[in-house]
């Protein structure tokens, strides 16, 4: 008799279980979507931190460039007995500060005026053609300063003429620091006297002290006694940083609010610069906030970055929505299938009158179904031994059911796969877990064929373990295709190596032939046309050799050529510079590279990167300047951000992406053995290591290469 309570329990289980599975599946889909979202946001944060570090480096470089400008201006006073107003104007005009140094409001000189010489000073300036000149603000003080030179001496800068900066506390503190410490100083937040009522910006000033010639300046007292004045530059912070750091409205890649504060803390009254309107800042919601302090000769600025999400085009969550959509669809499909399956089981149970007959009938149906299926099917019991193989399996192996039963089937597994096959099966069996594996099984004709075997544990009433059922699919053709692809990849590398050797040989022979002709035939016996032809042959052979070499490097750039280990970058650069010792002596080149963090990469590809960048810096040098290359690196979040800056001819902005293409180069002269592949090799290596490469203009002229590698 059938227990009524048992029927009721099964009825409710049939209803509740599909909904429970649907709930769990949807929950799993939500968790998966959430983790994908987190992964996307982590990637966005990595880009955000790179943006922050790049901004900090640019600001430091810009301030350093302005510092060098002021030091050069101070040197003008050190080298002259009396710098006249016209000499100062010509010097500043030659600097072209408004063209090359964004943010400089002007370049000026403020004279130190003891109180007893104030009248004489004003009289002298009035005699020079400024009858209304007076030191401002008025009042009695122990000493005065006055801006007497300021170029360009037009427009708003005229308002600063005669202004006593020493009378204002913030400016005075910076001026005293520069005077007493004999170094460049930067003032706190001020409002420049040039500002009008519209578009008022926060400002700051940079000072360099100027002392009287041939006076000792070893102590503070000596410096104060020898003081002549200050060379200085006023900066409008908006003009200084707007073109240096893209603003939010310009749709920056990281969508960040960027603000600069005077001092080590974030205070509203210390705000120097913001790239967004205050009304927009108040409505936007930052997902990440990062603060970086930068110290310029004792003056600290706090750089605050806010990463903004939810803006148009900010973060691409399409992958998350795809995962969620696919998960919901799969969950609903699983729900319908499971409910259908449970209904089928209940209906089958209701129809059962004779349990033994139904089991036999079910077994017969299964075997007929298994025998008609186009896959190899097997079953095992609770003792791990197989007791059933379908017709397709037996036809595949050419054995009888009795020969395959137990562990007989395992005798025909390939010897190299035998232990692996048993380990996977027994491990899954002990855990009652599903498994899949690939192994080779001998076919009836003696050929070993690759099978993809999937096994699933079987239970009676979801409780009692009955054994396993599995199916195998012949994947030999797929494995053959995979092997062919692997061999093709290896053959491509071999072909590249062999082709490079054979293509290099004609070039070497041409070079040898030309050198032999030049050695055997005196130059005076050759016509100009013959000499030009020999030179053309030499040049062509050299370019062919370089082209073959770089193509070989480009094809191998995405694969390590030796073990990946921690490498001291300074050691690699030092060896490369030894190879260029004669060229560096000839050109007067200087390369700074101390304190660079190590990197985790194979040595040949790291050498290729710096070999190419050094060649570019020394080859595309400025015709009037000795090459100067600065190489630096900074470890951030497990990556090393490298900066290679030169003072060469530079790359126009419209070409900075094109030069990364194969065979793209900026032609300097016809003797240049450039193949146009070097930067493409660098990008291919860096991107294969999960990094990126960008080009920027070096302050003062030249090219800066920024890239990152695993630390």
Region of poorest pLDDT, from 536-550, 588-602, 685-699: 536-550
From the centroid of its chain, how far is CA 368? 60
> What CA–CA distance (Å, rounded) separates 650 from 641?
21
For 96-208, where are the alpha helices, taking DSSP H only?
97-100, 118-127, 169-181
Instruction: Say if residue 152 is preceded by a cis peptide, omega within 30 of 0.
Output: yes
231-258: pLDDT as tens digits: 999 888 877 777 666 554 444 444 678 8
Fold of 94-241: Beta-Lactamase (3.30.450)
Residue 218 carries which DSSP code?
S
Q: Do 94-241 and 359-474 have matching folds?
A: yes
pLDDT at 414: 95
**The two structure tokens encoding residue 379:** 């079953």
Domain 359-474: CATH superfamily, name plus number: PAS domain (3.30.450.20)
Three-state SS string over 668-693 comes to CCCCCCCCCCHHHHHHHHHHHCCCCE
Sheet containing strand 143-151, edge to edge, reads 143-151, 107-114, 227-236, 203-211, 185-186
**The two structure tokens encoding residue 221:** 């007292």
How much of the chain is in helix, strand and coil states, percent to nearest 5? 50, 20, 25
- Percentage with pLDDT > 90 across the chain: 39
Burial zone of 520 (CB within 10 Å; 0-12 exposed, 13-18 middle, 19+ buried): exposed
| Model confidence pTM above 0.75 | no
**The two structure tokens encoding residue 424:** 């996977």
Domain layout of the chain by residue ranges: 4-60+319-346, 94-241, 259-308, 359-474, 483-556, 559-711
Bigger pLDDT: 414 vs 32: 414
- CB 428, CB 450: distance < 8 Å: no
Sheet containing strand 448-460, edge to edge, reads 386-389, 376-380, 464-474, 448-460, 435-442
Burial zone of 176 (CB within 10 Å; 0-12 exposed, 13-18 middle, 19+ buried): middle
Q: Strand 376-380 relative to strand 386-389: parallel, antiparallel, unpaired? A: antiparallel
Element (H, E) at 478: helix 476-520
186-214: average pLDDT? 84
326-336: pLDDT as tens digits: 888 888 888 88
- Measured CA distances, 582 to 542, 585, 586 (Å): 20, 5, 6
Q: Which of 3.30.565.10, 3.10.20.810, 3.40.50.1100, 3.30.70.370 would CATH assign to domain 559-711? A: 3.30.565.10
368-421: pLDDT as tens digits: 888 878 899 999 999 999 999 999 999 999 999 999 999 899 999 999 999 999
For the cut 90, the answer to whether the pLDDT of residue 613 exceeds it is: yes
Report the mean per-residue pLDDT for the chain. 82
**What are residue 102's phi and psi, to 5 degrees?**
-60, 140
**CA nearest to 476, candidates 506, 442, 507, 519:** 442
> What CA–CA distance (Å, rounded) separates 333 from 331?
5
Residue 245 carries which DSSP code?
S
638-690: pLDDT as tens digits: 899 999 999 999 888 888 888 887 655 655 444 445 667 888 899 999 998 99
């Amino acid at each position: 008799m059938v227990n009524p309570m048992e029927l009721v329990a099964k009825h409710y289980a049939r209803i509740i279980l599909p909904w429970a599975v649907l709930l769990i599946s949807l929950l799993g889909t939500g968790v998966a979507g959430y983790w994908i979202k987190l992964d996307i946001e982590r990637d966005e944060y990595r880009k955000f931190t790179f943006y922050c570090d790049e901004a900090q480096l640019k600001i430091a470089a810009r301030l350093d460039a302005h510092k060098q400008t002021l030091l050069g201006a101070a040197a003008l006073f050190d080298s002259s007995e009396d710098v006249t107003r016209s000499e100062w104007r010509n010097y500043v005009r030659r600097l072209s500060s408004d063209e090359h140094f964004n943010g400089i409001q002007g370049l000026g000189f403020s004279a130190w005026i003891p109180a007893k010489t104030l009248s004489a000073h004003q009289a002298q300036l009035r005699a020079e053609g400024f009858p209304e000149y007076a030191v401002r603000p008025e009042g009695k003080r122990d000493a005065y300063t006055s801006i007497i030179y300021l170029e360009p001496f037009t427009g708003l800068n005229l308002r600063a003429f005669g202004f006593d900066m020493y009378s204002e506390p913030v400016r005075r503190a910076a001026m005293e620091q520069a005077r007493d410490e004999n170094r460049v100083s930067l003032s706190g937040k001020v409002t420049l006297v040039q500002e009008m009522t519209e578009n008022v910006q926060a400002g700051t000033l940079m000072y360099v002290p100027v002392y009287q010639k041939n006076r000792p300046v070893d102590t503070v007292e000596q410096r104060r006694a020898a003081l002549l004045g200050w060379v200085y530059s006023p900066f409008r912070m908006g003009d200084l940083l707007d073109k240096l750091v893209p603003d939010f409205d310009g749709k920056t890649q990281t969508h960040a609010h960027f603000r600069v504060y005077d001092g080590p803390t974030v205070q509203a009254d210390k705000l120097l610069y913001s790239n967004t309107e205050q009304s927009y800042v108040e409505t936007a919601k930052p997902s990440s906030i990062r603060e970086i302090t930068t110290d310029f000769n004792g003056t600290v600025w706090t750089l605050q970055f806010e990463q903004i999400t939810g803006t148009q085009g900010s973060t691409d969550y399409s992958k998350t929505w795809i995962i969620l959509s696919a998960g919901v669809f799969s969950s609903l499909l699983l729900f319908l299938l499971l409910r259908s399956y449970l209904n089928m089981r209940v209906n089958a149970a209701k129809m059962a009158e004779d349990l033994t007959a139904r089991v036999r009938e079910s077994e017969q149906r299964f075997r007929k179904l298994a025998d008609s299926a186009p896959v190899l099917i097997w079953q095992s019991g609770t003792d791990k031994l197989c007791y059933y193989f379908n017709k397709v399996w037996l036809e595949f192996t050419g054995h009888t059911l009795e020969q395959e039963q137990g562990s007989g089937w395992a005798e025909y597994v390939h010897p190299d796969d035998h232990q692996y096959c048993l380990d996977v099966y027994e491990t899954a069996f002990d855990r009652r877990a599903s498994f899949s594996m690939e192994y080779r099984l001998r076919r009836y004709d003696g050929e070993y064929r690759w099978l993809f075997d999937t096994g699933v544990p079987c239970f009676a009433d979801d409780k009692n373990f009955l054994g396993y059922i599995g199916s195998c699919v012949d994947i030999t053709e797929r494995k053959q295709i995979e092997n062919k692809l692997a061999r093709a990849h290896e053959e491509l590398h071999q072909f590249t190596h062999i082709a490079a050797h054979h293509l290099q040989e004609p070039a070497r022979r041409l070079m040898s032939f030309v050198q032999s002709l030049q050695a055997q035939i005196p130059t005076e016996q050759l016509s100009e046309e013959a000499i030009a032809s020999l030179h053309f042959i030499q040049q062509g052979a050299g370019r062919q050799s370089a082209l073959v070499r770089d193509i070989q490097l480009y094809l191998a750039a995405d694969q390590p050529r030796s073990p990946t280990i921690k490498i001291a970058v300074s050691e690699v650069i030092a060896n490369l510079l030894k190879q260029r010792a004669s060229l560096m002596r000839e050109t007067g080149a200087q390369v700074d590279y101390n304190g660079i963090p190590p990197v985790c990469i194979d040595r040949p590809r790291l050498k290729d990167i710096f070999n190419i960048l050094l060649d570019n810096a020394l080859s595309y040098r400025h015709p009037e300047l000795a090459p100067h290359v600065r190489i630096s690196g900074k470890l951030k979040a497990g990556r090393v951000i490298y900066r290679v800056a030169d003072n060469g001819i530079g790359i126009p902005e419209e070409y900075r992406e094109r030069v990364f293409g194969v065979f793209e180069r900026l032609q300097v002269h016809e003797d240049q053995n450039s193949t146009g592949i070097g930067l493409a090799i660098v990008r291919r290596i860096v991107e294969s290591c999960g990094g990126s490469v960008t080009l920027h203009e070096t302050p003062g002229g030249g090219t800066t290469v920024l890239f990152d590698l695993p630390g």
